[in-house]
Amino acid sequence: MANFAYNISKGEIKNYCRLAAANDALILVPLETSGIQADASLMVYTTLSALLAASNNEQTTIGRKTITSVTITVDNVNNRTDVDFADPVWASATGNNISDLVVCYDPDTTAGTDTTVIPLTHHDFSIAPNGTDITGEVTTGGFARFQ
């Protein structure tokens, strides 16, 4: 599960994951280890551009991934809802070390900018790209759970 949900997205993540708009998407943004802020500082950002304008660096060598195959599972037995997605793969990944992945909602993939991209959840993901494939599995149980 996520280390935390960004304040701006609390209570809205399931709605964003439904991807109801014509050109919206969930994206996965890798953050470099160098310069990363503490969780308490990170969770207050309301846009991806604000998060990256601080000391947090996007690992652009491997780049962002569009998340596919989003599943929302209502579990009435355990009184919760789980949200998950297919684990993206970065082939032959190189570049600076990564410490975190951010799942974001992009409301308009055709004309939007990072000023409209909303950070949803933040996940520890410590890896040193070395030319091999990297699978972006944020957790085995899904990326978000609501109880």
Encode the chain (147 residues) as per-residue pLDDT tens digits: 567 777 777 778 878 888 777 899 999 999 999 999 999 999 999 999 999 999 999 999 999 999 988 888 888 898 888 888 999 999 999 999 999 999 999 999 998 899 999 999 999 999 999 999 999 887 767 778 877
Structure confidence at residue 131 (pLDDT): 97
E-assigned strand segments in 41-140 = 65-66, 71-75, 80-84, 89-90, 98-106, 118-127, 134-135
CB atoms under 10 Å from CB of 106, counted, come to 24
Q: What is the pLDDT of residue 6?
A: 75
Give CA separation, 47 vs 10, 40, 97, 118, in Å.
Answer: 14, 16, 23, 5
- What are the tokens at 102? 């951010």
Q: What is the pLDDT of residue 44?
A: 95
User: For tokens 């919760």, what's the residue?
Assistant: 80
Question: Residue 81 CB: number of other CB atoms within 10 A?
Answer: 18
